Amino acid sequence: MSMREAGGMRLESVDEVFVRACREDVHAYVRDPAGYGAWWPGARSRPARDGAALELRPPGLSRVQRLRVTLIEERPGLGLRLGLRGDFAGDAEWYYLDERDGTLVHYLVRGQMGGRGAHRRLARHRWVVREGLHALKDLLESGRSPGQEPGSSLRGLREKTVERQRAAPTRARGRPGKVDS
């Protein structure tokens, strides 16, 4: 989604990948932007005074996006929100949703890009993000055969999550404020 505003183009996008791992394992990699370069192809990262310096290079292209990344909010095991400054300004959010046999990992970016070619720069950013999401999936699923059932620890976590969801009250359809039991 995008709309022209004073000061540039307002941009939002979301990318996601399913990973056969629990969200706490996902969070262990995502929580430290200064470490992204260790597992994310096309990313170079290093600690900076107020967070991390991140360079993102789409495969096969020489153009690099340079960003300063600061942690705004961390929700262990649930996700985190990052501030972005540099080639574009805004914020990014990683968040994780439990699925029966793993975790759905989302990356949402919202920001402002000035100048011409904002859509191309967003497309390049998303390209590198998708590379990172798939590298994270490969890393967390390494050693597993395709179609192999998740480990017993992941199944146990999922069963507890389902029990919690069943025990929680739900809102009645079409009747705001009314709670079913």
- What gap in Å lies between CA 64 and CA 76, rounded to an integer? 30
CATH number of the domain bearing residue 131: 3.30.530.20
Domain count, the chain: 1
| Structural domain for 62, as ranges | 8-165
Q: Is residue 119 part of a domain?
A: yes
Q: Spell out the per-residue pLDDT of the chain, length 181, in tens.
A: 333 444 578 889 999 999 999 999 999 999 999 999 999 999 999 999 889 999 999 887 788 999 999 999 999 889 999 999 998 899 999 999 998 889 999 999 999 887 788 888 888 889 999 999 999 999 999 887 766 666 666 666 666 656 665 676 654 444 444 444 4
Tokens for 31, please give them: 């929580």
Give this prediction's pTM. 0.78
Whole-angstrom Cα Rg for the chain:
19
Query: For residue 33, what pLDDT is reported?
Result: 95
Query: For residue 168, what pLDDT is reported?
Result: 62
Q: Is residue 29 part of a domain?
A: yes
Q: Is residue 134 part of a domain?
A: yes
Q: Is residue 66 part of a domain?
A: yes
Q: Is residue 172 part of a domain?
A: no
Query: For residue 118, what pLDDT is reported?
Result: 82
Query: Which long-range contacts (C-beta less than 8 Å, at least 24 apart) are formed by 160-169?
Result: 161/98
Query: For residue 170, what pLDDT is reported?
Result: 53
Query: For residue 164, what pLDDT is reported?
Result: 60
DSSP H helical segments within the chain, as ranges? 23-30, 118-141, 152-167
Q: Is residue 46 part of a domain?
A: yes
Query: For residue 88, what pLDDT is reported?
Result: 84
Q: Is residue 175 part of a domain?
A: no
Q: Is residue 75 part of a domain?
A: yes
Query: For residue 40, what pLDDT is reported?
Result: 94
